[in-house]
Amino acid sequence: MDASEYLAFLPLLIYGIALADLFSQWKRFFNPKKWFLPYLLFTIMLTETALYNVFIYAELIDQLAGLSYFNYLTYLIPPFLFMLTANIFTPDQDSETEEYFMRQMPVFLSLLALFAASHFLYDFNENLHTLAGRLIAILLILVTGITRKIWLFYIIVVLWIFLLFVKGGMIST
């Protein structure tokens, strides 16, 4: 292993911790008493987002060699923000899903917007549609968190599905 592969371990571990937290919430899909459609859709969306970020992280591994410590810390910002988002998003086992979701909405959506914005720190060779979609998503996420309007969640999900198809053709090096 070279130095860049060692440095890539920590961000990928942080994404792994967040994914484990999200995967533990998939059990709510099998308990109708815990169903709340916006929560279930966001669980799917956040899981795919984490997987995509692990995938695109391959683009950054070569850039890690020769970094200063402070520059390396900037590479930890997106995974750390995502882990915080996933942690705030996931309710405790005995929590009422809808009530928890509505109460935590401003916090986890603010963190999600910061996470999405942190992707502008790096060049992932993404196309203009992906970058424009990310900017629109950030604004929409912030407005949704402030207003707590459920119908805005469904717009976010539609935008995510659109961006899923746009980024689906990306090939990692």
Per-residue pLDDT, 1: 60
Query: What local confidence, expressed as pLDDT, does residue 141 receive?
Result: 94
Round the CA-based radius of gyration of the chain to a whole number and report it: 16
Closest C-alpha among 98, 60, 95 to residue 78? 60
CA distance 60 to 75: 9
Give percent above pLDDT 70 in the chain: 92
- Lowest pLDDT segment from 64-68, 107-111, 145-149: 64-68
This prediction's pTM: 0.86
Cα(42)–Cα(33) distance, integer angstroms: 17
| Predicted confidence (pLDDT) per residue in 156-169, tens digit | 999 889 888 877 76
HEC string for 65-111:
CCCCHHHHHHHCHHHHHHHHHHHHHCCCCCCCHHHHHHHHHHHHHHH
Q: Which two tokens stand for residue 11?
A: 């961000």
